[in-house]
Amino acid sequence: MHGYREKSPSQAQTRPYRSFGPAFILVGEDCCKWSGVGCNNITGRVNRLDLRNRHKIGGLDGDGAAGNAFGFGGEINPSLLVLKDLVYLDLSMNNFGGVQLPSFIGSLEKLTYLNLSGASFGGTIAPNLGNLSRLLYLDLSNYLFEPVENDLHWLRLATFSSLKYLNLEGVDLSKAASYWLPTVNMLPSLVELHLPFCRLSILPLTLPSINFTSLLVLDLSGNGFNSTIPPWMFNLTELVHLHLKSNNLHGELTETFGSLTSLQTLDLSENSDIGGQLPRNLGRLCSLQTLRLSINKITGEITNFIDTLSACTNSRLETLNLGYNRLTGKLPDSLGYLKSLRYLTLWTTHFTVQSRNRLET
């Protein structure tokens, strides 16, 4: 970081808001003490830049100014490459005004953490990101200034054998609709996969072999798959959070959901055409904290499901949303045994109360 000369005070104050990069350094000053800058304790070299914009985009700061006025913008300065030991780079929620993410980002070979979410870059995802083979965390969610179709060839050809977190929320991946699943399946260390609202459109029903068996979080909401829930998904037995909201999914809920015993969150809401009755095995998911099944065509009674769930030694269910379905029958007395339940939604269902005593305790 040394070797740069101080600009005039006015330049030093305004430069960060026009472009990003270590364009000025105060000679003799310890940059490791600067906010957002971290250094290796042994070598003293900069290895961490946390320069996210903490002011809410579109909101106001305490003085009534637009939040993004306090962020970085413009082009990223190539002098960033001086930081040879950089492992952590967070530029999220800044406003780069549609400039292309420079290809030299792919030369920061030691990066393990890269967060560009909401940073308003332009163009397509830089292919050179595939060179960052040490990445553990990659967040590009909503990072584009304006919508543009992207593919996943940069990910397909990469060697992200250690990648644990991938978030591409809101990135148009319609060009990758036919091959996104086998591509992400090649990431053996993946723990969290977030691909909501990516215009993927195709949800393959078969997957010959599953490599991403370490998945704990899978979010595919809002892609409009118009499919049934694929059998391979029930082999992801370590899943903790599964989000499949707003996908035009159809077919009946099956007993195979009982194999996902680690689930804490299951969201199948707003699919309109998921039908059948609530399977008893769904009630065997004793770790469930949130279950959202609203706006579907689920029929019949809920007694078997609730009876099974209430038999859990320590039921953790806090949110149960069954609204806007075709459920009928009686609300079972066992509903009162769900001591952690805080939010119960039953809009437009047709229940009668079996016994008030238990529900009132």
Residue 138 is part of which domain span?
31-202
Among the three residues 156, 180, 202, which one is the final residue of a domain in this structure? 202
| Whole-number pLDDT of residue 70 | 60
- pLDDT, tens digit (0-9, with 9 covering 90-100), for 296-322: 999 999 999 999 999 999 899 999 999
Quote the number of domains for the chain. Answer: 2
In a domain, 279, yes or no: yes
128 and 268 within one domain:
no
303 and 178 within one domain:
no
- pLDDT, tens digit (0-9, with 9 covering 90-100), for 23-58: 444 445 788 989 899 999 999 999 999 999 987 555
In a domain, 12, yes or no: no
- pLDDT, tens digit (0-9, with 9 covering 90-100), for 75-101: 898 999 999 999 999 999 999 999 999
188 and 210 within one domain:
no
| CATH code for position 38 | 3.80.10.10
In a domain, 317, yes or no: yes
In a domain, 155, yes or no: yes
What is the C-alpha separation between 154 and 160, in angstroms, rounded? 11
346 and 242 within one domain:
yes
Q: What is the 3-state secondary structure (H, E, C) of the chain?
A: CCCCCCCCHHHHHHHHHHCECCCCCCCCCCHHHCCCEEECCCCCCEEEEECCCCCCCCCECCCCCEHHHHCCCCCECHHHHHCCCCCEEECCCCCCCCCECCHHHHHCCCCCEEECCCCCEECCCCHHHHHCCCCCEEECCCCECCCCCCCCHHHHCCCCCCCCEEECCCCCCHHHCCCHHHHHCCCCCCCEEECCCCCCCCCCCCCCCCCCCCCCEEECCCCCCCCCCCHHHHHCCCCCEEECCCCCCEEECCHHHHHCCCCCEEECCCCCEEEEECCHHHHHCCCCCEEECCCCEEEECCHHHHHHHHCCCCCCCCEEECCCCEEEEEECHHHHHCCCCCEEECCCCEEEECCHHHHCC
Mean pLDDT of 274-294: 96
226 and 174 within one domain:
no
In a domain, 4, yes or no: no
192 and 209 within one domain:
no
In a domain, 7, yes or no: no
